[in-house]
Amino acid sequence: MLTDLKQSVFEANLALHKSGLVLLTWGNVSGLDRESGLVAIKPSGVSYAEMRPEQMVIVDLQGTVVEGELRPSSDTPTHLELYRSFPSLGGIAHTHSTYATAWAQARRPLPCFGTTHADNFRGEVPVTAELTPEALAGDYELETGKAIVQAFAERDPLQVPGVLVACHGPFTWGPTPAAAVENSLVLEYVAQMAAVAESLSPGLSCISCGLQDKHFLRKHGKDAYYGQK
């Protein structure tokens, strides 16, 4: 079932590992097949060296395992909440990459200090609220997803394809599992540059809205002109 989706999710998980953003098994990627409403996701705790495409677990959007011998990633309820709430997503990735996680641990949104950020994220990358004791006592991974959705109440998830979960780390997404992984790489890169820039110039302010929009819109949207037609 969904052989192509399982293959693309498998390849995206390997790409995430090869990128160096993931230590041990601390990362996961999923992909959604919009037509069937089914999600393929990495199995929980399986090493990347031993992972095979057929081990990707297929779940429906309510979290019922439809196909697979192994347990899905423990973060599956977070991924599913994002797919249910953001209909444009086709892939989601999660890491504990160093700099993005450092901003998440500082519980600070990632400010737009330069055009590399603006090329990829329109405005700051938000940080979620911390989970309440009630949320922690409930379905933790689902509540994490809800906190992310709340952070996007006034944002377009395709214009800001990532988030910092307070005290935890980044989730990124895109139209495909591969795009979600690419955004994990970009987020880590801009998080590192922002940390260095701020250490060089404490109190540094964001670049102007005009410059942010110029860079985001020349790469994205209907009038984009970056790259080849």
Instruction: Provide the annotated active-site residues.
Output: 119, 226
Of 46, 1, 5, 4, the closest CA to residue 28 belongs to 46
Which pair of structure tokens corresponds to residue 188?
A: 């880590």
